[in-house]
Amino acid sequence: MTSPTDVRGAKPAVSLRRLVRRYGALTALDGLDLEVPRGAFFALVGRNGAGKTTTFRIVAGLSEADEGTVRILGHVLDSGAGRTAVRARIGLVPDFCPLFEPLTVRENALCLGRFRGLGPRTAGERLEELAGALGAEGTLDRVVTGLSRGQRKQAALIVAMLHAPEMLLLDEPFSGLDPISARSIRALLEELRRRGVTVFMTSHTLPLVERVATHVAILEAGRLLETGTLGEMLGDASCLEERVVSALGAGRPLPELAWYAP
């Protein structure tokens, strides 16, 4: 487990106040209040439909709340200027692949590096170093359409980190990864956190969350159910999965399925 003591009391990197987001008759977020300390590795968990992806998209600037205040790295996201200032300081890896699929990973990196103000030499050197850390050197000159889901996830993370953002936003970062790739990404993210980078992620992979997170928040029906440091959230539970399942009141008994007799 990672100790959260070095981020206690830090000013929030993310501050959400009374967020409401509706999709027609569905209320995805219902007055959500949430804070993410700077330098934390913050995991947002909960069952499907709890509001995790909606929260992630609002924090990332991909969607807007109907009500409430969103403050990211000291900027209120209520204007174009605020969004522009935040986007220059974050790295974003959504659950879908954000890269240009007809291009190679290297071409994506050089193109987006230029957009971030990086010259081709600097972007290329950083690309090689990050790919080496993740064991992804063999994918750099392959087109994105030919990559597996896990390889696309690695490539998207590499490109998101090129400009050395002070906060990473990761939606299901371990989904589709083989054990070796997951371990490499985990080690890299842990090193970044030690350097003061804030990581905000959503995930259903609770054993991996337990290994890397300093803070955890459980969402339910668009509201914050519980939040705290990893140690506070674990309490007397044997693992994070047990704690989350207990908090959500899940775990229905199996039906008899007497008709299922192949």
- All structural domains of the chain, each given as residue ranges with its CATH number in brackets, are 5-89+166-247 (3.40.50.300), 99-165 (no CATH)
Contact 123/160 with Cβ under 8 angstroms? Answer: no
Q: What is the CA angle 28-9-13, rounded to 5?
A: 45
Phi, psi for 68 (deg, rounded to 5): 105, 180
Work out the number of other CB atoms within 10 angstroms of the CB of residue 145.
12
Q: For every one of its 262 residues, what pLDDT tens digit does the chain have, with 9 covering 90 and above?
A: 444 444 555 579 999 999 999 999 999 999 999 999 999 999 999 999 999 999 999 999 999 999 999 999 999 987 677 888 898 899 999 988 789 999 999 999 999 999 999 999 999 999 999 999 999 999 999 999 999 988 999 999 999 999 999 999 999 998 888 898 889 999 999 899 899 999 999 999 999 999 999 999 999 999 999 999 999 999 999 999 999 999 998 667 888 899 998 8
What pTM was computed for the model? 0.90
**Under 8 Å CB-to-CB from 121, ≥6 apart: which residues?**
none
Work out the number of other CB atoms within 10 angstroms of the CB of residue 49.
14
